Structure 1
Amino acid sequence: MLRRGKGIELKSTGEIQAMRAAGLVVARALAAVTAKAVPGASTGELDEVAEQVIRDAGAVPSFKGYHGFPASICASVNEKVVHGIPSRDEVLSDGDLLSVDCGAILDGWHGDSAVTVAVGSIGERDAALSEATKKSMWAGIEQVRAGNRLSDISHAIEQSARASAAADGIDYGIIEEYGGHGIGTEMHMAPFLPNLGKPGKGPKLKVGMAIAVEPMLTLGTTDTEELEDEWTVVTLDGSRASHWEHTVAITEDGPWVLTQAED
């Protein structure tokens, strides 16, 4: 039975398993999009690929119609951080860095995940940016454990990003305005998860909670602006961005990454 822990939805084992089914649909959709994200493909075509995979699984795209969003994925190319609207007119070029965010609803349960895809051959700094973002996501996921505090996840993400910056010799920007969130019977639920902060703060994590962990890093500024379409978020200095995300459940055995592919 669903219940609340200080405003955060708690799920039973069976409900977490239902979320896993939704998460696998998202994983398959992202895998299909990644395979098609080549020079010459449009982000509109990628959106159609994702929607087909989701609907073939008997699921519904989480994003399409959400507060008026017109597509099944967010496709954010280069300086676009998040919420990019796919279009048949937006054609990918060799060297582009594409972040794809995707969600699906299956039997009332949500899955939400994002990947950054190299289109053709990308530069070393872009590759390092994506890897640093991915590493910070996994560092955060490691802290999605019962007994920890919410900001332990935030702190782990920040520390990983700063360690990568030192190792790579690149001053990565950590986006503060956007972050992770609770997820379950809705896509965006309490709590909001910042991507940086001091440890030991916020609500205590409990078995049955599910959280989307989603860091966003840039090759420059941490400042962003929303375009006139009222969705697309871009870096103010035009620097490239990367976005990685997984939906993670807290179990007795630790974090369970619900949107990870079966292999």
Structure 2
Amino acid sequence: MSSRIHPSAIIDPAAELDSSVSVGAYTLIGPHVRIAAGTTVGPHCVIEGRTTIGADNQIFQFNSIGAIPQDMKYAGEPTELVIGERNSIREFCTLNLGTAQDEGVTRIGSDNLLMAYVHIAHDVRLGDHIVLANNATLAGHVHVGDWATVGGLSGVHQFVKIGAHAMIGFQGHVAQDVPPFMTVDGNPLTARAVNVVGLRRRGFSAERIAVIKQIHKLLYRSALTFEQSQAEIATLHGQGADEDVALMLNFLAAATRGIVR
């Protein structure tokens, strides 16, 4: 057994682990698991199901990864969990397989931080550079865009979409879609402002932020209907933030649960 694998770990012979993967004491890894180079798995973890884990992830102790969905419709279909690269998965997180009612895959992107006790339900899709704070709970089919932050003890209803660069405050009850760039908090959840601090940290220029503030005003500070606000947002093309305008318009067009107001 490799010196990187603790002798008390139980790894199915059919599992595929790169020779550089390290596995801690009393961890259990099932036959359909694949783990790429540089990933470390702490002690007392269970990694099962058809789970693929990319390179250079850091998985701390006491995690359950690749268990079957908490969905009564699940009937043993060969669904998957796919995790990207360079993620940090802290203690006591639960990441479930997908279901046949969706694409059959739960997808975690790269460079994400999942703090302790985070739950990722079936068919969730996480982008990249996301922070899920302690006890954030994502129900089935939730989609989260790049660079979003979900505050501690927040619950996200099934099928909700959270846009890129959005910020969910502490203990948010998220039952509607959260547009990109917005900061939301409170109970009931309310859109407060543009996530200016986050955008500046990511190198957004003053010009881009100014356009995003105009988008916020059209969505939340005008007397326009939802459809009218989308039409007005479209007129902001050509002001130096076309990518951001397109991101917002595409998100609004795909919203299925209404947006947080």
**TM-score, shorter chain, exceeding 0.5:** no
Question: Does 1 or 2 have the higher relative contact order (CA < 8 Å, sep 6+)?
Answer: 1
* Structure number, greater radius of gyration: 2
- Give the TM-score of the pair, scaled to structure 2: 0.29
- Give the TM-score of the pair, scaled to structure 1: 0.29
Q: Which has the higher helix share?
A: 1
